[in-house]
Structure formats: C-alpha cells, structure tokens
Chain A
C-alpha cells in the first residue's frame, strides 16, 4: 500500500528533476567534520566538471573549517551512497554517474575536526 486514500491518488514528486531549471541536486557531506551540522544540498548543472565542484563550490561550503585548507585532495576517500567511489575530476558530474539527488561524502584521512572531536 503506497498510501491510504479514499480514491485513486497519484501525484508527481515535489522534487522531480524538471523543477530545478536545468540543475540537479547533489548532497555532499564531509566525514568526521560535524561542525557542519548536516551534509550540504547543492543545485548544480550536470555539465559541471567534478574538479570545478571541488575547486569552486566546496570551499564556499566547507572553507570555514580550519581543516579545510589542510586537505590533500589526492588522498581523499570518496563515497557515493555510502559505497567507496572514485570520481574523475576532469569529467562532468553527469559523466561521473552523478544523478539528481545523489549523495556523496568525502573522508580526509588524518583530519578529524576540532581537537579530534569530529567537529
């Protein structure tokens, strides 16, 4: 039973892709850095290069943290829907297989937040 209703009940999803004016949602979390209380929601063109996301968007979102400047991006571990995943920085979000409302996280080995508290 997908819903309890008195008659036929079918509506579109509120967050379907076509509502985002050419962008798609991408959720990004930084492991062990819960000073950012939740993963971020970003609306991005699927044609954006993954490297551009890392170089231009993530600093605005995570740059406040003193650990951010210390990240060695070549050592970063990536996850997509919780599974290990390797993005190609030179290719687009779409070519990296990122679809609307995908969630990715990154772990920065050796960096575990304020006084190691995972903050």
Chain B
C-alpha cells in the first residue's frame, strides 16, 4: 500500500477510518475464498455484496484503546475508593449481596463467552466492515468480564459464595441455564450467533438485563457495581447499533434470508426471555430496595420499545417473535415461580434465599394484583410459618428439567397458572421433555443438537457430578453432600437461608463497628 508518510498532514477522520478498517482488507489470490471462510454457506444465509454493509460506528483501533483506557482509569479509581472506604457496608442490607452473587456467577461469564463468540464471528465474515465491528465488540466483552470480576472481587474478601464462579458455571444446576444459552449461541454458525447475541440479546433484551442490575445497584448503595454498569453503557450503545445493522444487512441481501432470520428471532427471543427469568426473580425478591417490578420492566423495555422495533422491521417481512401472548400472560407469574424454586432448592445453591418480609409481600400484592395473593402469597406465608417452627423447607428431591432451557419444569400452562406445562417429543425412540411450546419447537428444529444437552439433574443420576474418586456404593453415601463438594459450594456457609447465615452476622457486626462506638 502506498501511503505518503512525508506529507506532514494528519489524516482526516474519514480517511483514517477507511485506511484502518476496509483499507486493511485484501482479495486472496492463491487460496479459495470458501476455504478461508468455511462457515459462510451452511446456515443457508445468502450475502451478495459485503460492501453494502454500513459501518454502525466509525471507530478505529487506536482511538478505541485511547478511549477505553481513559474510561477504565476512572472506573478503577472509583472501585479502589469504594473498596478502601469499606463501601460494602453501605449497601441497604446484606441480602442485596445475593443479587450480585447471581450476577457474578450467571452473567459475567457470559460476557466472556460473548467475547469468544464475537471473535469467532468476526473471523468468519468475509466482509471487512462486520469483521472490524465484531473485533471491537469482542474486546468490549472481555473488558466487561474483567471489570465486573474486578469490581465484585472486593465482595469476595468479605462474603461467602463469590469464591469460585468459573468452576461453578460448568457445574452448578441453575448455572446451566445461562451457560447452555450461550453455548448454544457460540456453537451456532456466525450468522445465527449475530442474530442470537448481536440482535436478540444485545438489542431486544439487553435493557432488561442491565437496567435492573445497574439501577438495582444504585438503589441499594452498591457503587462498585453501579460504576461498572455505567462504564459499560457507551459500549452497549454501540452493541445495539451493531445488532440492528447486522439484521438489516442480512435481510436486505436476499429474500431467502427472511424465513431463516425469523426462525432465529423466534428462537433467541424465547431463549433469552427464559434466561431473564433469573432477572425477574432478582428484581421482585432480591433487591431490598426495589426499583420496579419485573412486570413493569417487561412492559417498558419489551412491550413498548420492542413493539416499535418490530413495527420498523415489518417492511423486511419480519413479524414480532412467536409466543408473545404467553409471555404477556406469564409476566404476572415467572418471578414468583422462580423465587419459589430457589427458596426450596436453597440447600443446593451458592447464594442465600429467605422469606419476604410483610412489607415485601405487600409490595408484591400491589405490583401483581391479579396473581400474587391468589397463587403465590399462600405458599410463601406457609413456608414462613413453617420456618418459624424450625421446619424451613428444603426440597432434596431433584426436579425434572426442560431439555432446551434447562430450567426445572416450573412454568405453567399458557392461561392457567395452576397447571404445570408439560410438553414432550419422541425422537429416535427417546422421550424429551419441555417446559413450553417455545422450547419444544426449538428442539424440533435441531434435535441432534439438543439431545446432547448436559442436564445437571440427569448428570447427577448418571454419577457424573461427584468429586474424583467418590465411591457412591459405600454405606451412608450422601449424594447431595458430594454434589455440593463437586460444585465447590460450602455447606452451611454459601447455601441455606439468609436468616442465621455468616453473611448476615458479619455484615451486622461490621456495620455496627462502622457506625457505632461499641
């Protein structure tokens, strides 16, 4: 490339951008394109002209580093100050910490997986424009994973359950939900990955993930978490732009792409929505100071914002995702169903659960006038009463899981919250079970993929979830104790009820030391 380095003039922004992105691309001369980009055809997506790609943000690598470094300097200064001033003692209540344990174990590892996914997709695309955009997002995602882990490591010095998130992600029963979601995405082809994560997750659903956690942190005095949330915000705006660009680009390239993209939008909206069940539960039960209910968040961030988006996409022949009727009905239910699940399997988790206070029950009644008092309050009050009598409910029999979302089969029939929703399919002589029509249809589209699902419950029964060298045939063998050992969950410290926990006692004692002269 002949660039005159001696002119003495600085390149203009536009020129610089062109040179440092598309200008770095070249046409192969002695290798075939399909050998260099082997994943371009098998998903059925047809791209005729990669140059039609509109770069959603004009950022070059050098300015990327400069800009991000500045942001991170500020972020780490705040995180350090927060740590040095024992900021953790300013959170509303030690119960709050369990919300960020959920974030660290369930969400931060997904940032890392997103990093891998975008790096892979970027490598796979023959177009220089999307390749550069994917590269930047890939870097964003690994930075987010790092800043989150660093920010939350402060809590690991003081509280239980933060100690081994990456080990747990591969093993703990409920973490298979976010993990399998992302494993499904990164093992799909590059186009499906972009629709799954770039569009459905980052564009359609991201506000339902980050707003609740970041606002939840702000409302509950957690400046560390709040700061990494704000620091990531400008990146998220870029990610949303990329998500929208990729979908418009694919749809404009060939009409044959429309039904494929539609199927992916249906699949990934449903899968993402299922993962967000955890967020709904966090919002309605785990934040001592609530921000809004899950139902309200869904209405604002999906029904209103998402509604406008799909109106816009209608001109490409795209309709709103399937199963929205069921989702609209279920917004009154899923957070309660999820909390009941974690409450009863509280012996097998790495965070604490508890009975809501009277105030909290009343808040739930008010936010869910059509469902809470009728279906869920009796259950919670019964459990609270039992706990007072020393009979706190710990369910020790393993639940049936959905083959696709891997959530226990806790969801109810569309339109009837008193009936568990059962769906099943016979495939090559074996039965497979699902929590919903959505998960069932996803399986039917790709049974060869989903029949390999690593379902934690079934793996326990196969004997694959004990520490090495365990002999399950010995007398007095306690399978659940061995499973916790395999999870690296410390019994009596990380799990069980918040009431009486070490976290509760320590927080009260340390806050007492910080705020009184006792």
Contacts and interface: CB of A to CB of B under 8 A. Distances in A.
B452 interface: yes
Instruction: Identify the interface centre among B42, B378, B446, B447: most chain A CB within 10 Å of its CB.
Output: B378
Nearest to B409: A38
Nearest to B38: A6
Nearest to A3: B448
Contacts of A12: 452
B419 interface: yes
Interface in A17-67: 19-21, 23, 25, 27, 29, 31-32, 34-43, 60-61, 64
Interface string B358-393: 000000000000000011101100100000000001
B92 interface: no
A92 B443 CA distance: 32
B418 to A, nearest CB: 4
A72 interface: no
Majority secondary structure of chain B interface residues (helix, strand, loop or mixed): mixed
Contacts, number: 148
Nearest to A36: B395
A19 B38 CA distance: 35
Contacts of B408: 37-38
A45 to B, nearest CB: 12
A6 B398 CA distance: 37
Residue among A9, A14, A61 with max Cβ neighbours from chain B (10 Å): A14
A88 interface: no
A74 interface: no
A11 interface: yes
A115 B378 contact: yes
Contacts of B43: 4
A105 B453 CA distance: 24
Interface residues of A, number: 50
A14 B453 contact: yes
Nearest to A81: B424
B451 interface: yes
Contacts of B399: 37-41
B424 A103 contact: yes
Interface in B391-415: 393, 395-401, 408-410, 412
24 contacts: A2-B446, A3-B447, A4-B188, A6-B39, A10-B448, A14-B452, A14-B454, A14-B455, A15-B455, A21-B462, A29-B420, A31-B419, A34-B337, A37-B337, A37-B340, A38-B420, A41-B401, A82-B422, A101-B430, A103-B400, A103-B422, A117-B376, A118-B375, A119-B382
Interface string B334-363: 000100110011000000000000000000
Given A60-B397, A103-B431, 15 more contacts: A4-B42, A4-B188, A5-B448, A6-B39, A6-B42, A13-B430, A13-B452, A19-B462, A29-B400, A29-B422, A34-B337, A34-B340, A37-B340, A40-B397, A41-B458
Interface string B42-82: 11100000000000000000000000000000000000000
A13 B431 CA distance: 11
B322 interface: no
Contacts of B327: none
B55 to A, nearest CB: 28
